[in-house]
Structures are given as structure tokens and as C-alpha cells.
Amino acid sequence: MTNTITTYIEKEILNSPDTQLTDQDDLLGSGLVDSMGLMRIIAFIEEEFGIAVPPTDMVIEHFMNIEAISNYVLKRQTIDG
């Protein structure tokens, strides 16, 4: 799952193809991902992993880095599933 998310962000969200992300890279604070990018990431994980992200879950703790996103998707899958 982590790989899928990393590949998507590297290929579709970041505009420089040579950038390689680690699981802990700060996506939001560093400006790597802008607000449109974040909305696209949310749409992607909803589609790809069959979850729904309610607005109340759209907080920094869930989207700060790839590790956080993966953990959130897992948590959401247990709730929705």
C-alpha cells in the first residue's frame, strides 16, 4: 500500500519526476504538495482503497507524510469494512 501511495504522489502530484520520497518526508509543511494536490491524494486513496474520507478526518495528523497516510487508510478500512 505504501508503495502504491508513494508511486502515485511521485508520478502524479510532484511536478519534478526525479524526486524520490521517503515515508517520513513532510509533504505539507515543505510545500511539496499544494491544496489541489492534497485533494487529489484524498480522491486517489478513496478510489484505490475503497474508503471514504469524511471532512472531520482531514487533519494534519493523517496526511503529513506517506507513513501517516498509510496508517490512516488501514484504520479507515477497518472502520468502513
Partner 1 sequence: MYLLPHTILNAANRYPDKEAFRFGDTALTYTELVNQSHQLAHCLLELGVQRGDRIGIYLNRCLETAVAVYGIMSAGAAFVPLDPYAPPARTQFVIQDCGIEHVISNKNQEKNLKKILTQNLDVKSVISPFGVNWGEGFLAFCASLNIRTFTQRNLQELSHTKPDTRTLEDDLAYIMYTSGTTGTPKGIMHTHRSGLAYAKLSADLYDVQPTDRLGNHAALHFDISTMGYFTMPYANGTTVIVPDIHTKLPASMAQLIEKEQLTIWYSVPLALTQLLQSGIVESRDFSAIRWVLYGGEPFPVKHLRALIKAMPNARFSNVYGPAEVNQCTYYNFSKLSEKYTTIPLGKVWGNTEILIHNENDEAVKTNETGELLVRSATQMKGYWGRPDLTEKGFYKRQRIDGCEEIFYRTGDLVKMCEQGNLHFLGRKDRQVKIRGYRVELDEVEAVLIAHEAIGEAAVFALKNEDEAHIKAVVKLKKDIEASTLKSYLSKRLSSYAVPNDIKFVQKIPRTSAEKIDYKILRRDAINRVSTA
- Give the separation between CA 72 and CA 19, rounded to whole angstroms: 24
- Give the separation between CA 66 and CA 81, rounded to whole angstroms: 22
Out of 60, 78, 79, 81, name the contact with partner 1 by CB under 8 A. Answer: 60
Q: Is 50 left (phi over 0), alpha (psi -120 to 50) or beta?
A: left
- Give the separation between CA 32 and CA 9, rounded to whole angstroms: 10
| Residue 79 binds partner 1 (CB under 8 A) | no
Out of 2, 23, 50, 58, name the contact with partner 1 by CB under 8 A. Answer: 58
Out of 16, 20, 22, 78, name the contact with partner 1 by CB under 8 A. Answer: 16
| Residue 56 binds partner 1 (CB under 8 A) | yes
Tell me which residues touch partner 1 (CB under 8 A): 15-16, 19, 28-31, 34-36, 38, 54-60, 63-64
